[in-house]
A and B are shown apart, each in its own frame.
Chain A
C-alpha cells in the first residue's frame, strides 16, 4: 500500500463547476497535510495546508481532513481554465521532518 494515494485522472470538469480532488494516506500518525498545484513544466506551488480535522477555506479552495477515515480532499469552487494543472497531495508523519508526496491528480477545466 502506498503511503499517499491519489487518482491520476484526468479529472475533467466544466468551467464554473466544483472540482473535487481526493487523497488517502496509510499512516494513522500523520499530522500535517498539504496540497500543491503544479503546472506543466513548472515547480510545485503550495496551495493549502491543514493540520486538524474539518474544513479550511481560502478563497475558492477548501481543504477537508478526516483523520478517522485517513483522507484529505481539496475542493475548487467556480473552476477556471487556469486551474488546469496537476494537484499533489503531501503528508507528514508525526515525528518526521520530511513529507511524502502522492503522484498527483491531473485536473482539466473545460471552457
Chain B
C-alpha cells in the first residue's frame, strides 16, 4: 500500500494564480482531511470529507475549495493565491470508526 500520496511536493505560485493540490489514499478510508501548517504552528483544518460527495468546512476554509467524487481522491483547489496561503499542506485519511489519521508527505507551497 502506498498509503496517502500528495502531489506536488513543492510549488511556487504567483499572487492571483490558481492550482490544485492532489491527494489520494489506497486504504479505503471513509474520512479525508486537508490541513495547513505554518512554521512553528499547529495543524489547522481547512476542509474535510466523510465520504464521496460529502465535504465540510474546517477552521480556515477561506480561499480554498474541495471536491470528493471518489473514496480515493480528495483534491484541494486554491483560487487567486495570496501570500497568506504560503504554508505546508497535509492531506490525511482515517477509518470511519477509529479516527486515527494517516498523513501524506505534504506539499510545500510558496506564494510570491
Give the interface of A toward B (CB within 8 A).
32, 34, 42-46, 49, 88, 90, 92, 97-104
- A sample of 19 inter-chain contacts (CB < 8 A) reads A34-B99, A34-B100, A42-B106, A43-B103, A43-B106, A44-B43, A45-B103, A46-B102, A88-B42, A88-B43, A92-B99, A97-B31, A98-B33, A98-B45, A98-B58, A101-B35, A101-B42, A103-B42, A104-B42
- Closest beta carbon of chain A to B45's beta carbon, Å: 6
- Check A43 against B105 for contact (C-beta < 8 Å): yes
Interface: B41 (CB within 8 A):
yes
B106 neighbours in A (Cβ, 8 Å) = 42-43
Q: Mark B42-61, 1 if CB is under 8 A from A, else 0.
A: 11010010100000001000
Least CB distance from A25 to B in Å reads 13
Overall SS of chain A's interface: strand
Q: Within the complex, what minimum Cβ distance (angstroms) separates B51 from chain A?
A: 10
The 4 closest A-B pairs by CB, nearest first: A103-B42, A43-B103, A101-B43, A101-B42
Chain B residues near A49 (CB-CB < 8 A): 98-100
| Residues B43 and A46 in contact, CB atoms below 8 Å apart | no
B99 touches A32 (CB 8 A): yes
CB distance from A52 to the nearest CB of B (A): 14
Distance A92 CA – B48 CA, assembled complex (angstroms):
14
For A43, the closest partner residue in chain B by CB is B103
Nearest residue, chain B, Cβ from A44: B103
In the assembled complex, B101 has its CB within 8 A of some CB on chain A: yes
Instruction: Encode contact with A along B28-46: 1 for CB under 8 Å, 0 otherwise.
Output: 0001010100000111010
CB atoms of A43 and B104 under 8 A apart? yes
